[in-house]
Amino acid sequence: MPLTDTAIRNAKPRSEPFKISDGGGLHLLVQPNGSRLWRLAYRFASKQKTLSLGSYPTVSLAKARDVRESAKRLLADGIDPSAQKRRDKLAARAAGDATFKALALEYLDNRRHTLTPLYADQLLRRLEADVFPYLGTRPITEIDAPELLDVLRRIEKRGVLEQARRLRQSIGQVFRYAMITGRAKHDPSTALKGALKPKGRQKHHTPMPRDELPGFLRGLDAYDGDPRTALALRLIVLTMVRTTELRAARWEEFEHLDGREPLWRIPAERMKARFEHLVPLSNQAVAALAELRALPGAKTNGFLFPSPSREGCMSNNTMLFALYRMGWHGRATVHGFRGVSSTILNEMGFPPDWIERQLAHDERDDVRGAYNSAQYLPGRRQMLQRWADWLAEVKASGKVIVLAREAAA
C-alpha cells in the first residue's frame, strides 16, 4: 500500500531499524533514534543497489516519488542512478567554485609562463581594483553583458578609456577559458564590441622639447623629492630603456660595475619582445648606480627601486609624477625620452641599427636566425657613452648643439 504523510508521521521508532514501503523500490527507513530516511532499491547490471534520497520531511513524499520516477527513466536509458547522482554532485560543486574571481585566478595561473611577471601582476591588480569588487563572487554562468557593461562604465567615468577596453579583452579571455574548461557556455563580453566609448585619436608619448633639455637636467640635479626617483629618471635618460624595464631592475642583473665594460643584462621575461636585452653602461650610468647603492635600504629586496610601502618595486607612475612635480605635466612623458635620444643620436650620425637595437625594437626573426642580444654591443657602448657625455655638455653649457660624431670626436 502506498505511503501517506499521516502513516509516515505515525511510524514509531523501534529498537531496530525497519522499512515501510511506498512501492517501486521506494521505502522509508525508520531508525531507532526516530530519523526517517528515504531509500530507493533497484537493480543495475544484475546487481542490487540502494540510492539514498535524503530524510523526511526535508525530502517530502512527493519529492521522493519524483526522484523514483527519474531513476526509472535513467535505468531505462541504461544509466545507473547512483552514478548519475555523483556526477550531478560534482557538477554542482564545480558550479559553486566557478565564480568569476576563481576562474580569473585559475586562468592567470595557467598563463603565467607566457606572461612577464610585471604584466601578470599588473593585470591581477587591475582585476582586483576594477572587476573583483563587482563580479568576483558571482557565478560565471550568471554574468551577462549588461552587468559587464556596468562594470566597464565605471572605468570609463574615470577617463581611462584604453584601460576599459583592455579590461574588456581580459574579461573575455577569462570567459573563453571557462568555456574551454566546461564551466561556461558563452562569452558575454563579445556583445560589448562597439558599446564602449572610442578611445579617440591615439596620443603618442610626448617627447621632451630639445631646447628645454638643459633646464630639465639641471632641475633633475636639484630635485627635492625621493633621491631614488631622481636617479631613476637619470638612468632612464642615460640607458634608453622603458619605464617597466627600469623600475623592476634587480641588482643581480648588473655585471662588471667595477670593470672596463659594465653591463646591464635584462632577462627575456621582463622585456616587451621577450628576448634578453643587453645595455652597455656609460660612466655616468655607473656613477648613478653607485649613488643608488649608497642610499639607505639599498638591496633590501633585490630591487634597485624597492617600493616604500609594500613588497615589490616602485609603482608605474612614480617617475611620471616626479615629472609633473618638476613642472612637465602635459609637456613631456618618461617614455618620451626614448624618442628624444633616438632623434638626436640619428642626427649625430650613429647607425640606425645600433639605435634600434639599443631601443630593443628588433624582434626575433625566424628567417634571419636567432636573436643575438650582443649584436652591435661595442658600437652601442660607444654610442651610449657619447650620449651621456653630450647630456653633460648640454647641462653645463645650457646649449643644445648636435654635432655629427666625426666632428665631436
pLDDT tens digits, residue range 345-392? Answer: 999 999 999 999 999 875 544 434 455 778 889 999 999 999 999 999
Query: Residue 309: beta bridge partners?
Result: none
* pTM for this entry: 0.56
* Cβ-proximal residues to 165 (8 Å cutoff; 6+ apart), any chain: 196, 199
pLDDT the model gives residue 200: 54
The upper half-sphere exposure of residue 67, i.e. CA atoms within 13 Å in the direction of its Cβ, equals 23
pLDDT at position 87 = 81
At 209 the pLDDT is 82
The CA distance from 127 to 104, in Å, is: 9
Select from 292, 286, 242 the least CA-distant residue to 263: 286
Where b means 16+ CB within 10 Å and e means fewer, 293-311 reads: eeeeeeeeeebbbbeeeee
Q: pLDDT value at position 400? A: 87
| Per-residue pLDDT at 405 | 64
CA distance 373 to 152: 40
Q: What span, in angstroms and rounded, lies between the C-alpha atoms of 220 and 319? A: 12
Q: Which residues is 47 bridged to in the sheet?
A: 44
Query: How far is residue 388's CA from residue 281's CA, in Å, rounded to a whole number?
Result: 10
Q: Provide the residue ranges of all domains of the chain, joining segments of one domain with +.
A: 5-91, 100-192, 210-408
Query: Per CATH, is 5-91 categorized as 3.40.50.460?
Result: no
Please list, residue by residue across 166-198, b when 16 or more beta carbons sit within 10 angstroms of its beta carbon and e when fewer do. ebbebbbbbbbbbeeeebbeebbbeebeeebee
> How many angstroms separate the CA atoms of 64 and 154, rounded?
48
Positions annotated as catalytic residues are 242, 272, 335, 338, 361, 371
Residue 29: predicted pLDDT: 93
- Fold classification of 210-408 is hpI Integrase; Chain A (1.10.443)
List the one residue out of 262, 244, 272, 243 whose CA is nearest residue 338.
Answer: 243
Within the chain, which residues score under 50 in pLDDT?
202, 204, 364-369, 409
CATH of 100-192, one of 2.40.50.100, 1.10.357.10, 3.50.50.60, 1.10.150.130: 1.10.150.130
- Which residue type is seen at 214? P
Percent of the chain with pLDDT over 70: 91
